[in-house]
Amino acid sequence: MSAPLFEIAILARATWNLHSLNNEGTVGNVSEPRTVVLADGRKSDAVSGEMLKHIHAQNLWLTALDKSIFCESCRVLQPQRADKSADLDDIAKKTKGDAARILDAALEGCAMCDLHGFLRTKPSIPRSSTIEFGWAVALPEHFHRDHHIHARHVVEGRGVERNSVSEDGEEAGGAAAQMVYHRPTRSGQYALVSVFQPWRIGLNEVVYRYAEVDRLVRFRIGIEAYKALFTRTDGAMTSTHLPHTEGIEGIVVISNSNFPAPAPSPLSESYREDVVAAQRVLTGIESVSFDSLPQLLGVLDEMAKREPFTLELPKEGRRK
**Percent of the chain that is helix, strand, coil (3-state, to 5):** 30, 30, 40
Look at 127 and 13; give whichever has higher pLDDT.
13
227: left (phi over 0), alpha (psi -120 to 50) or beta: alpha
Decide: 186 and 145 in contact? Cβ < 8 Å: yes
- Domain of residue 230: give its range: 7-68+128-144+183-315
Under 8 Å between Cβ of 64 and 70: yes
For residue 199, tell me if it sits in a domain.
Answer: yes
Return the DSSP state at 291.
S
- The more confident residue out of 75 and 222 is 222
Any domain includes 119: no
Contact 36, 26 (CB under 8 A): no
- Mapping DSSP to helix (H, G, I), strand (E, B) and coil, where does residue 72 land? helix
- 54-86 pLDDT, tens digit each: 999 999 999 999 999 998 888 888 766 655 555
Flag whether 272 is in a domain. Answer: yes
Averaged pLDDT score across all residues of the chain? 85
Alpha helices in 69-214 (DSSP H): 72-75, 86-94, 99-109, 111-116
pTM of the model: 0.85
Predicted confidence (pLDDT) at residue 143 exceeds the cutoff of 80 = yes
Whether 51 and 234 have beta carbons less than 8 Å apart is answered as: no
Which one is predicted more confidently, 239 or 171?
239
Domain presence at residue 113: no
The pLDDT of residue 320 is 43
Report how far apart, in Å, the C-alpha atoms of 37 and of each of 34, 48, 51, 293 are. Answer: 10, 13, 18, 29
Residue 307 resides in a domain: yes
Range from 112-126, 134-148, 162-176 carrying the lowest mean pLDDT: 162-176
User: How many domains is the chain built from?
Assistant: 1
Q: Is residue 245 part of a domain?
A: yes
Q: Is residue 24 part of a domain?
A: yes
- In a domain, residue 82? The reply is no
- CA gap 235, 241 in Å, rounded: 10
